[in-house]
Amino acid sequence: DQQVKQNSPSLSVQEGRISILNCDYTNSMFDYFLWYKKYPAEGPTFLISISSIKDKNEDGRFTVFLNKSAKHLSLHIVPSQPGDSAVYFCAAQRGETSGSRLTFGEGTQLTVNP
């Protein structure tokens, strides 16, 4: 039972344009959501997060939107840069404090073309 799903295995965009990565979840007990970025042969690195009490969180070029009623979140990267090319994982958690497991989606490979 895949509780967090990323339906697009890959996405290709031109440098300077917007990248939109999508994620859906099924477990209504999740109340904290995170995006991680992963380069080959490295562990995932934290990018941005959002609590379920918010619908938007912005950090520089990265914005995460949360639609609780649709159980959907998205990550917007604008403008996209070639260095953003990586696998992006959506993750969900029950509770904002640490000590709670992360449930990951399958990942989306983003390629930003110069």
Based on the shown chain and the rule CB under 8 A, indicate whether residue 102 belongs to the binding site for another protein: yes
Number of residues binding to another protein, judged by CB under 8 A: 30
Distance from C-alpha of 30 to C-alpha of 103, rounded to nearest angstrom: 9
Cβ at position 71, least distance to another protein in Å: 17
Given 7, 18, 46, 113, the residue binding another protein (CB under 8 A): 46
* Length reported for the chain: 114
Secondary structure tally for the chain: helices H, strands E: 0, 11
Residue type, 32: Y
Cβ at position 42, least distance to another protein in Å: 5
Choice between 17 and 56, CB closer to another protein? 56
Q: How many CB atoms lie within 10 A of CB 70?
A: 9
- The answer to whether 108 touches 20, Cβ cutoff 8 Å, is no
Rg, Å, the chain Cα set: 13
Given 66, 107, 110, 112, the residue binding another protein (CB under 8 A): 107
Query: Which residues inside 53-92 make contact with another protein, applying CB under 8 A?
Result: 89, 91
Choice between 26 and 51, CB closer to another protein? 51
Residue 91: both structure tokens together: 């993750």
Site of interaction with another protein (CB under 8 A)? 4, 6, 9, 32, 34, 36, 41-46, 49, 51, 89, 91, 93, 95-107
